[in-house]
Amino acid sequence: MGGRLAGRVAVITGGASGIGLAIAERFLAEGAKLVLADLNAPLLAQRQTELGDDVATRTVDVRIEAQVEEMVALAVKRFGGLDLAVNSAGLATWAPIVDHTEEQWDTVLDVCLKGVFLSLKHEARQMRAGGAGGAIINIASLNAFQPGEGMSAYCAAKAGVEMITRVAAMELGGDDIRVCGIAPGLVDTPLTTPLANLPGVREAYLENTPLGRVGTPADIAAAALFLASEEASWVSGTTLSLDGAANTKRYPELMKLLAG
Ligand SMILES: NC(=O)c1ccc[n+]([C@@H]2O[C@H](COP(=O)([O-])OP(=O)(O)OC[C@H]3O[C@@H](n4cnc5c(N)ncnc54)[C@H](O)[C@@H]3O)[C@@H](O)[C@H]2O)c1
């Protein structure tokens, strides 16, 4: 175990699965104490058992402000404050704009963008009150920059995450609170593996990924650790692309691939 985050307290939304979970495991190994927040209560209970007493879990819907506020309050009550936050809760829908339902649009925008706004708001309030600064990492996406057909809601939400990251960094810098984003390309997680395993989909991503492989949650966790650590003390207001250089090429034509 390293000690790069010793004495630090973090909240991680979407922490029961995929990228959020990998970041949780990495932060724990570096000595942090964590509040893991997720909508998936059974999975969260499983993580509580697996990860032990340096972790507190809370069932939270990031769309609901009172629940987000309680998540932050739990970090203070259980571990004495809040130094770090990772906002990873997210989901996606796939349909052309002409077929995308209002409900799909609202769900994606509410979870991926409003959820980040509410989380940032309460995490930053607590860090400001604590008076010792902090670091907040928002998980955006390659789709913040690169359009993907059938992904209007997701692309719009993630572009919004990239922008609110910059606004928050501007507003909170005076409190020594850093705000950064991570924009992953395709990473194998429960969110993406079913789609990536459809015929031709993984191949299309790889064709457009100069480094020739998809990402792992551990790839994202390594960058999150850097952004959370003191070594990144002059990094704020930026979103780091972690995509094997996929941003230099084009996004796969998912609708054609899904139509078969
Ligand atoms: N996997 C990828 O290829 C990829 C690429 C780019 C960006 N991302 C982003 O990374 C983040 C994590 O995704 P992942 O791939 O680890 O997926 P995942 O499904 O493994 O994890 C997402 C977690 O968010 C939780 N969640 C969903 N809605 C929630 C809500 N309303 N409140 C609280 N928790 C909620 C889910 O229960 C789940 O545990 C997301 O924001 C996603 O958009 C993923």
Domain ranges within the chain, ordered by starting residue: 9-244
The residue whose CB lies within 8 Å of the most ligand 1 atoms, and thus the one to mutate among 87, 142, 191, is 191
Q: Output the pTM of the full model.
A: 0.98
> Quick check: CB of 63 below 6 Å from ligand 1?
yes
Residues of the chain with pLDDT under 70: 1
Spacing of C-alpha 70 from chain mean position: 19
The residue whose CB lies within 8 Å of the most ligand 1 atoms, and thus the one to mutate among 12, 17, 58, is 17
Q: Which CATH superfamily is domain 9-244 in?
A: NAD(P)-binding Rossmann-like Domain (3.40.50.720)
What confidence score (pLDDT) does residue 58 get? 98
Q: Which long-range contacts (CB under 8 A, 24 or more apart) does 78-82 make?
A: 78/33, 78/35, 79/9, 79/33, 79/35, 80/9, 81/9, 81/126, 81/130, 81/132, 82/9, 82/10, 82/11, 82/123, 82/126, 82/127, 82/130, 82/134
% of the chain beyond a pLDDT of 70: 100
Q: Whose CA is nearest to atom 40 of ligand 1?
A: 90
Please give the positions annotated as active site: 154
Reported as a single tens digit per residue, the pLDDT across 122-154 is 999 999 999 999 999 999 999 999 999 999 999
Q: Whose CA is nearest to atom 41 of ligand 1?
A: 90
